[in-house]
Amino acid sequence: MQRVGSAVVNRAAGTRLPDAASGFRAYSREALLRLNVVTEFSYCMETIIQAGNKRLRIESVPVVTNPKTRESRLFSNIFQHMGKSARAIVRSYLMFKPHVVLGSLAALFGVAALIPWIRFLVVFLQGDGAGHIQSLIFGSAMLLGSMLSVALLVIADLQRTTRVLMEDVLERVKRLELEDQRMNQSVRGSSEAESQGPASDD
């Protein structure tokens, strides 16, 4: 199950990590400035998908772990973990590549609409279209699903553009706050050094 989960995350992130679900992580300051965790379940899947799509370098380092001493506090059973992880993966993937998911849905509904329409057209040309009106209704429903998927794709693409711009602003704010914190620490250190004064030669 772990291999399957890692394969799904690697597919979504465009990476090749042997254990994508591992919670043992180390982040550089630059990476933390660019990553923004929004899921409430676990950061493991989301940060890998974000890092992969933002072209951040990821290195896998083998480590030795201690034996298991207790059950996980994040989930009660494996099925709950799989469900929450799947939602986190889908949500993160939609943030970066909505056109893949919604475009595939639009194409799938479109093909599903063509099949009954073609069938209805064939039987109609044969003079027996009155008894197959349900094919036309089903095809229309599938076409509506395809059109809704295209509409959602346009909205998701606009939201993606907005998210990219907002993340750029957020990254700049983080850098300014970090620089301000460094300056405050430097000023505080200089003030402490001046308050101590030079050492006496008694």
**What's the pLDDT at 107?**
95
The string of DSSP letters for 56-112 reads ----------PPP-S--SS-SSHHHHHHHHHHHHHHHHHHH-HHHHHHHHHHHHHHH
Please tell me which residue, 120 or 154, carries the higher pLDDT value.
154
Domain boundaries, the chain: 2-60+84-95, 98-183
pLDDT band at 108 (very low <50, low <70, confident <90, very high): very high
Tens digit of pLDDT for each residue in 56-104? 888 888 877 778 777 766 666 677 777 777 888 888 888 888 889 899 9
Q: What is the value of pTM for the model shown? A: 0.70
